[in-house]
Homo-oligomer: A and B are copies of this chain.
Amino acid sequence: MTSQATTLKGQPLDKPVLDAMLRRRMFYTPSFEIYGGVGGLYDYGPPGCALQANIVDIWRKHFVLEEDMLEVDCTALTPHDILKTSGHVDKFSDFMCKDPKNGEIMRADHFVEAVLEARLKGDKEARGEKVEEKDDPKKKKKKTKTEAVKLDDAVVQEYEEVLAKIDNYGGAELGELIKKYDLKNPATGLLPSEPVAFNLMFQTSIGPSSNLPGFLRPETAQGQFLNFAKLLEFNQSQMPFASASIGKSYRNEISPRAGLLRVREFLMAEIEHYVDPEGGKKHGRFHEVEDLELVLLDKGTQLSGKTTTKTMTIGQAVKDGVVDNETLGYFLARIHLFLQKIGVDMSKLRFRQHMANEMAHYACDCWDAELLTTTGWVECVGCADRSAYDLTVHAKKTGAPLLVRERLEQPRVIEEWQLDIDKKKFGPLFKKDAKAVETALEATTQEQREAFSKQLAEGGKISLDVPGVGDGKAEVTSDSIKIEFRKRVENTREFTPNVIEPSFGIGRILYSLIEHNFWTRGSDGSDEARGVLSFPPPVAPTKVLLVPLSSNAQFKPEVRKLSQRLRAMGISSRVDDSSASIGKRYSRNDELGTPLGITVDFQTLQDQTITLRDRDSTTQVRADEARILEAIKSLVDGSKNWAKIQEELPKFEGQEVEVAQR
């Protein structure tokens, strides 16, 4: 696989050209730019905002409505205690190091990676080999100047091994690598400081007395977990079920890069699907997707140093154990279908499994849906098995019963060592310590009980460790307790559900989608290349452009009428009645990804016909308003394609000539 990114039509993708277009058309823009901007913060302009809303709308229909998920909206402000329990306060950090001279702060792993890669590139140049951009990184790396210096073969191999395991290193190890290989900051020629952990959460304090420290959530998941018991009750205690949430999350990235791929405030859409851990995590609708083919890159392949993907049905992948269980597999397939629906180039999608060392602290398995862009493969959706981690830690911390009680159809008979305490005798015997002794007794294991039972039978008493009581020992006699091996019938089963979490970074998906749908028209001729965003109609920010031939006042009522009719049909449109030529106005809207265009001209005033233009082919048809509106409806709802419309309605060539001549 090469990193040479291509457009929708296979042309080399010129990122600066695309960036300039996105800026010009205000898809997004650096926040606070007139104040100099702030790294990692972007605002969406009107087309970006509409594109985002459409992606979210399709997401909600595809996941939440299709599967009756319970959507919630929780606060981003989160008190310290919750994120302490969840492990984020201690573990949600990256390592950073600082240049001692210019004060530049860098992510330690990115720094090591960048310097070693620059050396390897320099080595290749020195050897006269063709230097290819590597296609890997989820992160966009800092450009580091290369010098053509040949390295020993053994050194090359060592560097490559380090790079393959880069996600594997902690701060101390990264520090050792910096010293061992003498990795200097090219900007100053100095070694950076020892890496230190930097927590990625934004801190604040809640309330007027500053005594409640809090954070902005780094994920929407915790709010969902804390509401688990209420959601289960809302779902009338039926399992499995899923909650879902769409909202902003915050990560104080050490060195955010330009663009939407690593930002500090971002929209997430997350699903927490709760499943019984027993019975192999089957899924009731797995059969609907089992024949779908996915492109998979499993951890075994990666650990052997390769990035070769396998294409297989998700049914086969689960059967072969490549994907652990049906529920995880079901969601991978649903993610695949969602990305297809919004218009992702499916030849630029792969599912990559995390290696053990790169997994988040809460996950026991994770697959990322990665999309290929000009900056390599970008993690856009994570699908993690969080096991029972979160519900367990919160339940333990708060005592809240975050579990499922299931009535057993067949009562379960359990034979075990059981303990009976005679509380009447027990109380006076231990007085204030009675509770502690009782708790210690209840906590004994089956093995201990078996041994105690013997001791009671033989010596009439046992000696029990009870920390904090007297000398740490309590003597319990056989007249106050009884330990017997006997049967017990259980009618209900209690369990903490496991969580399968598909988690979508909407901004990353949005940016990748733009790249996948971008191409340029006319670049083969002498003409200047004109950008086109061929979004499928459902995600396109605006569906229809309305163009009066000129600013002649006669056209206004007709345009206004069409605009109102389209609105009534629930189809978004925009009028461009600027003085630019029709061709220029269509070009502008090709850049905005508007799939359809209507022209109102002098003929319209005579015979009430209007033209309809297809963005991708620039061909046009002409018919009366009713038939054109009907055609638009069927194109937008996907029931017909442009070829079909061309069969049905007469071709029109008028203004198209003008467009072609520009």
Contact = CB atoms under 8 A, between A and B. Distances in A.
Interface in A68-84: 68, 70-79, 81-82
A394 B204 CA distance: 26
Interface string A210-232: 00101010000001001101110
Nearest to A52: B73
How many copies of this chain sit in the oligomeric assembly?
2
A96 B233 CA distance: 40
A29 B42 CA distance: 32
Given A68-B574, A73-B52, A79-B32, A227 B41 contact: no
A48 interface: yes
Contacts of A76: 76, 248, 265
A575 B42 CA distance: 41
A70 B236 CA distance: 43
Contacts of A248: 76, 247-248
Contacts of A212: 38
Interface string A369-405: 0000000000000000000000000100110101000
A452 interface: no
A234 B45 contact: yes
A458 interface: no
Contacts of A82: 32, 35
Interface residues of A, number: 79
Interface in A249-293: 250, 252, 254-255, 264-265
B206 A198 contact: no
Nearest to A223: B43
Given A70-B46, A226-B32, A236-B578, A38 B208 contact: no
Contacts of A33: 226
B34 A207 contact: no
Contact of A208 (B25, B105, B205, B250): B105
Interface string A158-187: 000000000000000000000000000000
Interface in A125-146: none
A398 B264 contact: no
A46 B226 contact: no
A227 B77 contact: no
A480 interface: no
A202 interface: yes
A418 interface: no
A162 B25 CA distance: 55
A146 B75 CA distance: 37
Contacts of A32: 78-79, 82, 226
A537 B105 CA distance: 55
A46 B234 contact: yes
Interface in A17-50: 25-26, 29, 31-35, 38-39, 41-46, 48-50
Contact of A204 (B66, B204, B236, B572): B204
Given A96-B208, A207-B39, A234-B26, A49 B31 contact: no
Contacts of A247: 248
A440 interface: no
Contact of A264 (B45, B53, B206, B394): B206
B202 A35 contact: no
Contacts of A398: 34-35
A65 interface: yes
18 contacts: A25-B234, A26-B233, A26-B234, A34-B400, A35-B226, A35-B397, A38-B77, A38-B212, A44-B72, A44-B73, A46-B231, A49-B71, A68-B575, A202-B204, A202-B206, A206-B252, A216-B216, A248-B248
Q: Which 6 A-B pairs have the closest CB atoms?
A: A34-B400, A44-B73, A43-B74, A46-B70, A34-B398, A49-B71
